[in-house]
């Protein structure tokens, strides 16, 4: 099983600043990595797939990078609606696995 690790459980960021979230895979997943956003009481929403491709309707302030075992989700010019939980997920092999999640909170 590929273990996904999101190193920072909570990031405290002020509106207008940049948030950088990290995700590490226990073995290479190529670029088969997705990022999801989840707000309290809501279903997850796909933000990024193939490590760096934005899903339909996702603002350009969200960007993804990385390959192999190290990945980053960057949120530029953080907006109030971006305070949420974020999960990475690998889909390079079965079982599909998610990172433990990272919360972006208002500093």
Q: Which residues bind other proteins (CB under 8 A)?
A: 32, 34, 36, 38, 42-46, 49-50, 55-56, 87, 89, 91, 94-101
For residue 38, the minimal CB distance to other proteins (Å) is 8
Nearer to other proteins, 13 or 55 (CB): 55
For residue 72, the minimal CB distance to other proteins (Å) is 18
Q: How far is the C-alpha of 28 from the C-alpha of 16, rounded, in Å? A: 33
The sign one gets for the Cα dihedral 55, 56, 60, 62 is negative
Nearer to other proteins, 56 or 80 (CB): 56
Distances (CA, A) of 23 to 7, 20, 63, 78, 80: 7, 10, 14, 19, 23
Nearer to other proteins, 65 or 77 (CB): 65
């Amino acid at each position: 099983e590929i273990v996904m690790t999101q190193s920072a459980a909570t990031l405290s960021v002020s509106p207008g600043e940049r948030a950088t979230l990290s995700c590490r895979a226990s073995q290479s997943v190529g670029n088969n990595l997705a990022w999801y956003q989840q707000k309290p009481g809501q279903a997850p929403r796909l933000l990024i797939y193939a490590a760096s491709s934005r899903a339909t309707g996702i603002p350009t302030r969200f960007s993804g990078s990385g390959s192999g075992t190290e990945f980053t989700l960057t949120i530029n010019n953080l907006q109030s609606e971006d305070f949420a939980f974020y999960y990475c997920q690998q889909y390079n092999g079965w079982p599909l696995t998610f990172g433990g999640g990272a919360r972006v909170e208002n500093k």
